[in-house]
Structure 1
Amino acid sequence: MEKLYTAQVTATGGRNGHVKSSDGIVDMKVAVPEGMGGKGGSTNPEQLFAAGYAACFQSALMVVAGKAQEHLNPESTVTAHVDLNKLDDGGYGLSVKLSVDLKEMDKEKAKTLVDEAHKVCPYSVGTRGNIKVDLEVV
């Protein structure tokens, strides 16, 4: 395996704290969401994970579409829904739904591209077998 890039982010204070990347681009407060009894008003780990997964999956779609010589509408979107779940054993886990809108593309063709992107997206590869990921073509 060849390492291409390393992201480095340091967290202080947990879910009611601060995150900062080594290059200073990410530098923000994090807070427990209001829906979980927190004050809200800041981002949270699930939003940050959703942002990364959605962007990465969109890039994977661009790669597989290019290889298949398919044109993606520039307005196409990937929306990641990341759920924080309480598990039966008392622990916590994540689940994800990726809603993909490839605009005017035929639904069967879109599903094929989404399935292929799910095979190569680093987030999909990293979560495979660990968390439930549902794919939705809208």
Structure 2
Amino acid sequence: MEQHKVIYTAKVQTIGGHNGTARSVDGRLKDLLAPPAAGETDTSPEQLFAAGWSACFEGAMQLAARKMNVSLPPAFAINTEIDLQDAAEGYFLGARLKISLPELERNVAQAIIDAAHQTCLYARVTPGNIRVALSFA
């Protein structure tokens, strides 16, 4: 069996589900949770998922750009939307990542986005489970 080196372990305790709290063992995350669209000021788990996916995808884009000897523009951004959807077979998630890469030629930007989608850990663990749409703005 192949051995894997653990780089980091996130340790979070959640109490109360969507109406509870999520706290990391190290104290860096302390969030009150609320169901999506509840009109509350607390964070939904879907927002946390969107933040994690965006950050991962940005890192994957930076890696891809370095490999292509391309400098990413300082104003590049990723707007991620996670949809909680209901269907006859139950709830499921959808994801839309809208990537803005001003100042880059469209074909170069698309190559970076495509490479990032192949290496981003969130994209790699979700195929077939989450409907993903990538778009270049």
TM exceeds 0.5? yes
Given candidates 15, 35, 38, the residue that maps to 1:32 is: 35
Tell me what 1:17 maps to.
20
Cα distance in 2 for partners of 1:73, 1:39 equals: 35
User: Can you list the C-alpha shifts for 1:100-125, whole angstroms capped at 9, x where unaligned?
Assistant: 00111111111111000000001111
Tell me the amino acid that sits aligned with residue 48 of structure 2. Answer: L
Cα distance in 2 for partners of 1:32, 1:6 equals: 26
- Structural mapping, 1:1-138, within 5 Å: 1-33=4-36, 35=37, 38-89=38-89, 91-138=90-137
Cα distance in 1 for partners of 2:30, 2:93 equals: 24
Cα distance in 1 for partners of 2:123, 2:5 equals: 18
TM score, norm. by length of structure 2: 0.93
Cα distance in 2 for partners of 1:118, 1:2 equals: 23
Tell me the amino acid that sits aligned with residue 72 of structure 1. Answer: L
TM score, norm. by length of structure 1: 0.93
Cα distance in 2 for partners of 1:7, 1:21 equals: 7
Structure 1: gaps of 5 or more residues:
none
Q: Kindly state the Cα deviation for residue 39 of structure 1 after the two structures are TM-superposed.
A: 4.5
User: Percent of aligned positions with the same letter in both sequences?
Assistant: 37
The alignment's C-alpha RMSD in Å is 1.0
Number of equivalenced pairs: 134
Structure 2: gaps of 5 or more residues:
none
Q: Runs of 4 or more off by more than 4 Å in structure 1?
A: none
Cα distance in 2 for partners of 1:130, 1:27 equals: 28
